[in-house]
Structure 1
Amino acid sequence: MYRRLFVLTLGTFAVGTDGFVVAAILPDISRSLDVSISTTGLLITVFAFTYAVSSPLITAATAHVPRKRLLIAGLCILALGNVLTATLHAFGPVLASRALAGLGAGLFTPTASSTASALVSPHQRGRALAFVLAGLSAATALGSPLGAVIGNQAGWQATLWFVTALAVLGALGIAVLMPAIPATPAVSLRARLAPMKDARVGFTLLTTLLAFTGFYTNYSYVAESFDRVTGGNGLTLAVLLFIWGVGASVGSLGVGRLVDRLPAGRLIATAVGIVAVDFALLPLSSSRLASAAVALFVWGVCGWAVVVPLQHRLIGISPEHATVSLGLNASALYLAIAASGLTGAAGIDLVGAHQLGLFGLIFLLLAVLASRAATGLITRHAEAPGVHIESAPIPKAPRA
């Protein structure tokens, strides 16, 4: 079982590295393609936005396809997008190649989460989701810094070839180790979006959107908001981002066992609340290296600890729509990443880069309110006469 979860994790590691590493090589791409840095930033936005918009459409169109085939196809499309990014020489085609990579990511990630749930018994679901999610958080700790070093030593195109190799390796691992898992019943796009009519699902997705808009409003401009301690030194910034990524890995893995034992709402509110306090202190903590390191570690741990309980909550609300709900949640997360460039820029204009934590704090407080609303609705539904909560009837894969 763990070998199968590992190859899914390798795939999410490739997706996460692709999503995060472009920010580290953005200046090099800007110079190479002879476009402004702000225009080059669209490469990040188009990847995230394409992922967010395409994911529910793709999952609806491919419902009849076995999940193993979908996983391999998603990573192959991701690899192809990166090959094109590395070999094209004009900004327009390069931008289109990032959209293609986003399509691959949008196909792979929600399928990987639902497949992980199918590989284990219901009481292990939280740990399985955390294991797969660790690929994304590990990408921030290892994949992105390593890709940045490769780009610095061998050119930004080499970084994209590195991501391509990760995607191909993940696809090969899935082809060899993953069992055949049945396709989900074919349903229309209207039916796939039906879970959004459930207010419990809607407020949970809103929690994801608001929380990660707050998290990434700061992350997108971390170089500017922490420039007092980095002094513009890229190595110092890389070390700080590595600390953030290590915290993200700790949070993703550590919350797995907790979410199998404690209410998801309590975990979400606690984690977001701690990051809110952390952000409130950022104007002071970001001015000293030691305090900045602590702030980034706490931010990484608690920020990424939010994802698994949100996924667990969505599966519990509507087990029969687990794949759809997880796909919508991933879309909300990537919409937040796409929006963060705009919200971060607005925050810098309004309050300045060093106060950006206070601006992101607004979104975190709204996320706590949305989570509490979802908790109230879930509680009332569970207490309604005749309601019986069962374990999610997710198709089981054969065990090793």
Structure 2
Amino acid sequence: MHPVPPSTAMALRSLALAYFVQATGALSVVGTLAAIAAEWHLRDEQAALLITVFGVTFALAAPLLQMAFGHLPRRRQVLIGLALFSTAAIIFALAPGYYILLAARIAMGLGAALIGPVLGALAAGLVEDEQQGSAIAMVLLGLSMAGLAGIPLATWAAQAWGPRTLFLAIGAAGLLTVVLIRSTVPAQAGGEKVSPSTLGRVVFDPILLPAYFVVFFAAAAVYATYAFLVPIIRDVFHGGEQTASLAMAVLGVSGVVGNLFVVRLARRYSADTLLVAGMAILGFDLMLLLVVPPTLAQLFGVLMLWAFATDIVWPSQQRRIAELSAQLRGVALAVTASFVFAGIALGSALAGFLYVRWGFHANLFGSLVLLALSWACLALSARRTLLTTKGIL
């Protein structure tokens, strides 16, 4: 295999930076929930709705934007999406009130929906066939680094300098990345526009549809508790601002460890096996949170296991979808991303509803119910796959 030329390596790093900025801007609201609520005088559940509207927007827009603009050159799609995302982050920072905040998050969701589905394909088009896996992995490193460093730093920055400064910085970083991509990533031909009939066939495929709902309910299960992690740390575990930043850092480090772990195990075990294992660990962790004393030491131990489990679940689910959809893999993975963000939206909305009315333990019970639904969908999907293999379906 020939080494990647330095100019191509620089282009891939630029795309990884775009993923880092997008993921940090999208998910930093979780760690800065209390700071945002304080700055704009919002209730915690109002602040959590900012996660929900982003997720709903991404879920609905990602496939529709590919239908409308999938024929455009991929670099142009990324540049337009990142410029929109970054400008919306700056509007968020300058927002005078809640409705402008909501509008800015919707615009950020639209920008992210245009970026996310094409970054991997753009990276793959920059290298030879045998180097495509490494190129995509390099771009996805930006997503991993957002969990490891971006979100913990965002949490700390919002507490130190305020959420307005944080989102100004995210917007500025995004616009600088636009310039960097424009100068380092060569233009490519446009992709194929996804027709409504193709999208419908991929969404409602009898094997793929329950597989999508596996990740939908899994994402909802995670965010029904995770979206309110900072208020939970404040109210239940009596931690301060530094504790929240440290919690995000623990989640990031443990998540990267889980990702490395699943990369090695994927050579020996099937996606179904790893998915079951990750969901079982997550269920055990949720039950552990129900019974352990509310001390910070116990919390950090549980969070380590939490991040480890979720970073087994996500790549295993992606692998499972890829294996089930050989013919239309790209469209199926884009639809999967929509179901993920729809799950995030549902879980985040439930998090505020449950916590405000019944407290921390209601969040955990809600997460367990959603995780059970994910298990049921996995069983249905596995059964349909088996029946198809035998020629019954």
* TM-score when normalising by structure 2: 0.87
After superposing the two structures, state which structure 1 stretch, 156-165 or 138-147, moved more.
138-147
User: C-alpha displacement at 1:18, in angstroms?
Assistant: 1.0
Match of 2:249 among 220, 242, 247: 242
CA contact (8 A) 1:9 1:133 kept: yes
User: C-alpha displacement at 1:61, in angstroms?
Assistant: 0.6
Tell me the distance in 2 between the aligned counterparts of 1:227 and 1:193.
44
Match of 2:86 among 79, 85, 96: 79
1:219 matched to 2:226? The reply is: yes
After superposing the two structures, state which structure 1 stretch, 255-264 or 297-306, moved more.
255-264
Deviations along 1:27-65, one digit per CA (max 9) or x if unpaired, are: 444444444443333322222211111111111111111
User: C-alpha displacement at 1:230, in angstroms?
Assistant: 3.7
CA contact (8 A) 1:218 1:344 kept: yes
Matched residue type, 2:172: A
Give SS of 1:41's match.
Answer: helix
User: C-alpha displacement at 1:260, in angstroms?
Assistant: 5.2
1:101 matched to 2:111? The reply is: no
Instruction: Say what the alpha-carbon RMSD is for the aligned residues.
Output: 2.9
Give SS of 1:89's match.
Answer: coil
Tell me the distance in 2 between the aligned counterparts of 1:250 and 1:258.
12
Long gaps (5+) in structure 1: 386-400
1:49 matched to 2:39? The reply is: no
Matched residue type, 1:47: F
Tell me the distance in 1 between the aligned counterparts of 2:13 and 2:388.
36
Residue 71 of structure 2 corresponds to 64
After superposing the two structures, state which structure 1 stretch, 133-142 or 358-367, moved more.
133-142
Residue 334 of structure 1 corresponds to 341
Match of 1:268 among 275, 288, 311: 275
After superposing the two structures, state which structure 1 stretch, 153-162 or 100-109, moved more.
153-162
CA contact (8 A) 1:11 1:170 kept: yes
1:148 matched to 2:155? The reply is: yes
What are the equivalent positions in structure 2 for 1:1-400 lying under 5 Å apart?
3-116=10-123, 131-227=138-234, 230-259=237-266, 261-285=268-292, 287-348=294-355, 352-354=359-361, 356-382=363-389, 384=391
User: C-alpha displacement at 1:92, in angstroms?
Assistant: 2.1
Tell me the distance in 2 between the aligned counterparts of 1:281 and 1:71.
42
Distance 1:275 1:132, change over 3 A: farther
User: C-alpha displacement at 1:71, in angstroms?
Assistant: 1.7
Give SS of 1:184's match.
Answer: coil
Tell me the distance in 2 between the aligned counterparts of 1:206 and 1:275.
17
Tell me the distance in 2 between the aligned counterparts of 1:124 and 1:273.
34
After superposing the two structures, state which structure 1 stretch, 279-288 or 341-350, moved more.
341-350
CA contact (8 A) 1:133 1:252 kept: no
Give SS of 2:328's match.
Answer: helix
Matched residue type, 2:280: G
Give SS of 1:218's match.
Answer: helix
User: C-alpha displacement at 1:279, in angstroms?
Assistant: 0.9
Tell me the distance in 1 between the aligned counterparts of 2:117 and 2:234.
36
After superposing the two structures, state which structure 1 stretch, 228-237 or 348-357, moved more.
348-357
* TM-score when normalising by structure 1: 0.85
After superposing the two structures, state which structure 1 stretch, 70-79 or 281-290, moved more.
281-290
Distance 1:74 1:256, change over 3 A: farther
CA contact (8 A) 1:130 1:255 kept: no
User: C-alpha displacement at 1:121, in angstroms?
Assistant: 8.0
User: C-alpha displacement at 1:207, in angstroms?
Assistant: 0.6
Tell me the distance in 2 between the aligned counterparts of 1:288 and 1:35.
28
After superposing the two structures, state which structure 1 stretch, 293-302 or 318-327, moved more.
318-327
Give SS of 2:347's match.
Answer: helix
Tell me the distance in 2 between the aligned counterparts of 1:190 and 1:172.
36
User: C-alpha displacement at 1:5, in angstroms?
Assistant: 4.2
Tell me the distance in 2 between the aligned counterparts of 1:373 and 1:126.
31
Matched residue type, 1:365: A
Matched residue type, 1:154: W
User: C-alpha displacement at 1:100, in angstroms?
Assistant: 0.7
Aligned length: 385
Q: Work out the percentage of aligned pairs sharing the same amino acid.
A: 26
Tell me the distance in 1 between the aligned counterparts of 2:243 and 2:11.
36
CA contact (8 A) 2:124 2:136 kept: yes
